[in-house]
Copies of this chain bind each other. A is one copy, B any other.
Amino acid sequence: MPIPSHDEINAELEKAFARSPLFARPGFLIRRLHQIHTSLFLSETNEFNITPVQFSLMSALRANGEMDQNSVAQEIGLERTSVAEVIPRLESRELLERRRSTKDRRVKLVKLSRKGQALLKKMSERVQQAHDRTVEALPEEERNLFLLQMIRLVEANNHLGNAPFKLPDSGDA
């Protein structure tokens, strides 16, 4: 099945706008997609009691090893102070370890604990499921284009807000 023509797209859009005028607003659709993905993620991984952001943070630590908190924030595109809230929650569950840098005593270095590594591994299949299910309703041949479009939008606007994330190579995540 090919990607639909402009005429088909526009006809479908007209019908959708009739169902709800909110469908004409990208921001509304993005908010709903965010809710939906979060819901899928939590239901897939509920036995582990980990949120999407917590998982992203731990993934970044697995890929980059020990890091200071600002670098963590840049790796996952999250505001510095939000990261400072997430880390203690994971630390109290002994999924992370923290220590003061001896070179720069302002810096707190964070790394994954063995327990954290093990948890990431156990969760990975379920997490992949959650991401897959998020875009499952699109015809397969459209999914990659959709991903690419989201990437374009994120990269084009990465500078906005206080949580730009670092684009240059970041290993695995």
Could you list which residues of chain A lie within 8 angstroms of chain B, going by C-beta atoms? 3-4, 6, 9-10, 12-13, 16, 18-43, 46, 52-53, 56, 59-60, 63, 76-77, 130-131, 134-138, 141-142, 144-158, 160-165, 167-173
Is A37 within 8 A of B26, CB to CB?
yes
Q: How far is the CB of A58 from chain B (nearest CB, A)?
A: 12
- What is the chain B residue whose CB lies nearest that of A132? B26
Is B56 within 8 A of A22, CB to CB?
yes
A134 to B25 Cα, complex, angstroms: 10
6 A-B pairs with CB atoms under 8 Å apart are A21-B63, A25-B131, A33-B154, A36-B154, A40-B157, A146-B149
Is B138 within 8 A of A149, CB to CB?
yes
Is B30 within 8 A of A134, CB to CB?
yes
